[in-house]
Structure 1
């Protein structure tokens, strides 16, 4: 399980004295714990790995946005800190699908669902997320789906 891998990384970071990696791993564990608490009050718990991947993907998206804002704001030192955290977070995510594989999956789903125009984008996106959500950047995929349906 991904959660166990992250906990093992925390221990190894403590033993090696890698303070920057340790801080990032602790941040990941805190976000996962927050999500656990949210789920306790909501619906029945889902697959643990899927939930952890969802949390990690959200963190990746936040880091990328922060990096862009820090670079625009003339704060390269803060952008570098965010890039270091981003690298640690991405270490725990499964290998993402390539652009070619993603476009092939979009075409297959488009053919299966009979999607013909932009009005069918929601149907294609829902199926794409259901099948490949854990190994796909849905932000990029959205643009490719729009392109395929246009």
Structure 2
């Protein structure tokens, strides 16, 4: 079984051979971010596939934010490249959760938190603790917390 990092390396080699500048550049930056993560801290280590996904998600988020900034600055060409890089990175991430799926996971977490004695707006932390691992990499934190706030306000 190939690790996600090995898959990125293989895809980089293919992109270089195909002279796909966008893909090779994006994968190089992503692999550099993964390597940086591996050597940060006291000892160098190999990242698990989940940790690699987190790095890819972080890189994809940076691309979305940069695209918005370029768009606001009237630099459509750079914005388009950032969007393309973000879409390329999304191929390596699990499919994002739809609103209904996210709401269902949040509702389960709210029910579990209530069963453990946490209710109302003060339950936010407890619910987030329960729901975050279930949505890891499939929904942005802001979207998750908004869904949790809605669910707590209704309940």
What TM-score do you get using the length of structure 2 for normalisation?
A: 0.87
SS at match of 1:134: coil
- Higher alpha-carbon Rg: 2
Map 1:66-85 to 2 at 5 A.
Answer: 66-85=66-85
Counterpart of 1:108 in structure 2 is 108
Consecutive unaligned residues in structure 2, runs of 5 or more: none
Residues 71-128 of structure 1, C-alpha deviation per residue, up to 9 Å, x if partnerless? 1111111101101110111111111221111110000010011043221111111111
| Greater RCO, CA 8 A, separation 6+ | 1
Report the CA distance between 1:45 and its aligned residue.
5.8
Consecutive unaligned residues in structure 1, runs of 5 or more: none
SS at match of 2:40: helix
In the alignment, the residues of structure 2 paired with residue 66 and residue 88 of structure 1 have an alpha-carbon distance, to the nearest angstrom, of 15
Counterpart of 1:121 in structure 2 is 124
Give the helix-richer structure, 1 or 2: 1
What TM-score do you get using the length of structure 1 for normalisation?
A: 0.90
RMSD: 1.8
Residues 145, 84 of structure 1: CA spacing in aligned structure 2 closer, same or farther, 3 A cutoff? Answer: same
Map 1:8-47 to 2 at 5 A.
Answer: 8-39=10-41, 41=42
Residues 131, 96 of structure 1: CA spacing in aligned structure 2 closer, same or farther, 3 A cutoff? Answer: same
Q: How many pairs were matched up?
A: 148
- The 4+ residue runs of structure 1 with deviation greater than 4 A are 44-47
Map 1:52-91 to 2 at 5 A.
Answer: 52-91=52-91
